[in-house]
Structure formats: structure tokens, C-alpha cells
Amino acid sequence: VSTSRPPHTRHRARGGAALSKAEAELWQAWKHASDSVISRVEHDIAEATGLSGADYGVLSQLVELGRGKLRQQELADSLSWHKSRLSHHLSRMEARALVRRTPAKTNVVLVAITASGKQALRSARPGHARSVRAHLTRKVLPAERKHCLALLIRLDNE
């Protein structure tokens, strides 16, 4: 009915040969796991505090990387976000008074967490920690932790 079912793709993985069963399995597992861990944590935070995962990431980078303030571009880099994504997002966060933008020297914009941003972050932290533990760190056994970290870093690079 459809395209040819790949009959024997097992022995040689040439340029565009179909994924082997093992490869497809790994890919599916990766898609599902990466999707579900992140979205569970984000769901937990949002439910408890009204902050999205993105909001939480912005606020915590501001306090942990800067001491409450960062240049916008530096913030974008630390989050691996496109600058326009950050720009749009900060507009929304600014409207909610979580951050404030102030033009600085030349071409640069400083982003600062506000008092209510700090408050929101403070009250979100415990739940965030609980959620990360429940959905990620508790499920990675101590024995595999180091190895797992190395793999994740390898996957992120290049």
C-alpha cells in the first residue's frame, strides 16, 4: 500500500538507509522522554505559581548568573534562545512586572528582575526543586548519574 517496507536494513547503514529497529527505538524513546520530563516540570511550576518554564528560566538566570541584572544578549546566550524569542518574552514578562528593561550605554539593554519577580521566583523555587527531583534526578540512579551527564553534554555539543 505504501512505500516499500525496508526489508533488510540491518547490516549496512549507508547514507539514507532507513533507521534500524534499534535506532528507531532509541529515537522514539528520546522524543517521548525529552518531551515528557520537561513538560511535567513545566506543568508543575505553572500550576503552583503561574510561571511558565520559560519565565522561571529567565528569572533564575537573572539572579544566578547576574546578580539580578543581565545584558539582554548575555541572557539570551545563557538560555540558548534566539534574540527575538527573548525580546518577545521579555515584553510579556515586563507587562506582568516580573522584569524591567533599561537601555544602557550603547546598543545594550539591561534586564533586571523586579521585586515581584524576586517574590515569584522565591515562591516557585521549592516546587521547582521538588518537581525536578520527582521527574528527573530521582530517576537517574546514583551509579549512572555521571555517565548520564556525560552523554547529555555530548548530545548537546556540536
Partner DNA sequence: CAAGATTGAACCCTCAATCTTA
Partner DNA sequence: TAAGATTGAGGGTTCAATCTTG
* Binding interface with DNA (CB under 7 A): 39, 43, 52, 54-55, 71-73, 76, 81-92, 101, 106-109
For residue 99, the minimal CB distance to its own copies (Å) is: 13
**All residues at 6 or more sequence positions from 95 whose CB lies less than 8 Å from its CB, including other chains:** none
23 binds, among its own copies, DNA, none (CB under 5 to 8 A by kind): its own copies
Of 67, 84, 95, 106, the residue at the interface with its own copies (CB under 8 A) is 67
Residue 92 binds its own copies (CB under 8 A): no
Residue showing cell 515584553: 91
Rank residues 106 and 157 by Cβ distance to DNA and give the closer one. Answer: 106
Residue 97 binds its own copies (CB under 8 A): no
Residue 84 binds its own copies (CB under 8 A): no
Q: Which of 76, 72, 62 is nearest to 113 (CA)?
A: 62
- Phi/psi of residue 69, nearest 5 degrees: -135, 145
Beta-ladder partners of 143 = none
- Cα 141 from chain centroid? 22
Cβ atoms within 10 Å of 129's Cβ, excluding its own: 11
Q: Which of 124, 136, 135 is nearest to 63 (CA)?
A: 124
Query: Which residues lie near its own copies (CB under 8 A)?
Result: 1-3, 13, 15-19, 22-23, 25-27, 29-38, 63-65, 67-68, 80, 113, 118, 121-122, 125-127, 129-130, 132-133, 135-137, 139-140, 144-145, 147-149, 151-156
